[in-house]
Amino acid sequence: MIVENLRSLGHRIVSAVWRIGYASRFFMMILFYSGTSFRRFHLTIKELFSSGVMSLIIILVAGTFVGMVLGLQGYETLKRYGAESALGSLVALSLVRELGPVLAALLFASRAGSAMTAEIGLMKATEQISAMEMMAINPLARVVAPRFWAGVISMPLLSALFSAMGVFGGYVVGVVLIGVDEGSFWSQMQAGVDFQHDIVNGMIKSFVFGVAVTAIALFEGYDAPPTAEGVSGATTRTVVESSLTILFLDFILTAFMFQGE
Amino acid sequence: MKRTTLDLWVGIFVVAGLGALAVLALKVGNLSTYNMSETYQLQAHFSNIGGLKSQASIKSSGVLVGRVAQISLDPERYEAKVTMTIDKRYKFPKDTFANILTSGLLGEQYIGLIPGGDEAFLKAGDEIKKTQSAVVLEDLISRFLYSKAEDSKQPNK
């Protein structure tokens, strides 16, 4: 009984390590074969459309509402200290530093990452990937790498759009609806947000999230068992793993970037 | 290879993304106030800098003329050594006075420069000799309490 449990535990650990090694090799192979996605850029453009442009609506709407909520909640809290004029810098700083990159990446993982996994998993299940290999076309270069670069390019852009819409939403609620002074809203915001320290660091975050989310989504799709159940399991794992990875990486990056001055 | 509608949408997406980044940089961030292209550095020693941080602003007559580049403790004089980056357009006399001031009652601290009357100007790497430290609230309160105590003793004599 005990021996059997130990054996299954050992088996699980060994296969997990095996999978990590396979995932790392897969990631390096994507980078190695990514020349094609720039030489034949229309492949990447097509993926930019399906992962970037199609995510635009959800990102814009979500960003506006998050900004509006920040405006309302921030106003309620700041009012107690008589610091309503700091609303602008509160909204902008929380969006640019944290909420923009993280929420955009979470939305991207569930909107585009899951689609990537399902697509590649189904391509594998219907033996399209093997067919490509038969025709001496490298599926990593033709299918996987363009999707990877499309995700990496679109993630910072989506995050910037999310933050900008959020600031707009905060402006609508704070200035137009509640009536915080417009001049102090913008001037406090500009005094509080530093270009290098806040905006560039936020962009670096979203770039890292883009790499992580697309790499996980592509690997799960490529590694999925070629059955209906396997593909559905892989899609679920993509969302769970990439969400956890985003939050974990966010903690690590924040600790490096914003440790006290 | 010919242009497709797909290209148009991706183009719109990329332009919108870069536009959002530009809005963040110019409207939200402080990139528009960052026009100090050419700068020079000055130094000053303060016995207490209070809550001054690097990147704090340096103002003269309320106008932003530079930023604090670095703060360290001088191991020989046991005083805070502040390195300041000043815009090249502004020159200050040798006997300029550097004060650590607070914007508003609880606002952040900045360095105020009050020019003197000397005809020679400070050069890059020079030190501002005349400085005044930050006002620490505890010191102020304790001084006030002591003087109150002195006052209340005197009528009894």
Strands B109-114 and B97-102: antiparallel
CB contacts, 8 Å: A206 with chain B: none
Least confident of A42-46, B16-20, B53-57, B121-125: B53-57
Backbone φ and ψ for B40, nearest 5 degrees, come out as -135, 165
| Interface contact flag, B10 A45, Cβ < 8 Å | yes
Q: Does A81 touch chain B (CB under 8 A)?
A: no
| Interface contact flag, B20 A161, Cβ < 8 Å | yes
Structure confidence at residue B106 (pLDDT): 64
Structure confidence at residue A94 (pLDDT): 93
> Does the pLDDT at position B154 exceed 70?
no
> Does the pLDDT at position B148 exceed 90?
no
CA distance B48 to B39: 26
Backbone φ and ψ for B79, nearest 5 degrees, come out as -130, 160
Among B90, B137, B136, B95, smallest CA distance to B117 is for: B95
CA distance A113 to A120: 11
Question: Average of pLDDT values for A183-204?
Answer: 85
Q: Does A161 touch chain B (CB under 8 A)?
A: yes
Structure confidence at residue B32 (pLDDT): 59
Domain parsing of chain A, residue ranges:
11-257
Question: Average of pLDDT values for B125-148?
Answer: 84
> Does the pLDDT at position A212 exceed 90?
yes
> Does the pLDDT at position B31 exceed 80?
no
Contact A193, B30 (CB under 8 A): yes
Backbone φ and ψ for A126, nearest 5 degrees, come out as -90, 15
Q: What is the pLDDT of residues A144-183, one digit of tens each?
A: 999 999 999 999 999 999 999 999 999 999 999 988 888 8
Out of A44-48, A89-93, A239-243, the most confident range is A239-243
Strands B63-74 and B127-128: unpaired
- Closest CA–CA distance from residue A204 to any residue of chain B (Å): 13
Structure confidence at residue A257 (pLDDT): 86
Q: Does A218 touch chain B (CB under 8 A)?
A: no
Q: What is the pTM of this model?
A: 0.76
Q: What is the pLDDT of residues B72-103, one digit of tens each?
A: 998 988 889 999 888 888 888 888 888 888 87
Question: Average of pLDDT values for A232-240?
Answer: 94
Instruction: Give the ipTM of the model, two decimals please.
Output: 0.78
pLDDT, chain A, mean:
91
Q: What is the pLDDT of residues A57-76, one digit of tens each?
A: 999 999 999 999 999 999 99
CA distance B60 to A79: 33
Domain parsing of chain B, residue ranges:
1-31, 35-136
Q: Which residue of A157, A161, A167 is in closest CB contact with B28?
A: A167
CB contacts, 8 Å: A197 with chain B: 55
Question: Average of pLDDT values for B119-148?
Answer: 85
Question: Average of pLDDT values for A9-31?
Answer: 91
Q: What is the pLDDT of residues A101-153, one digit of tens each?
A: 999 999 999 999 999 999 999 999 999 999 999 998 888 888 999 999 999 99
Structure confidence at residue B34 (pLDDT): 55
Quote the DSSP letter at residue B58. E
Structure confidence at residue B77 (pLDDT): 87
Out of A248-252, B4-8, B110-114, the most confident range is A248-252
User: Does B62 or A235 have the greater pLDDT score?
Assistant: A235
pLDDT, chain B, mean:
83
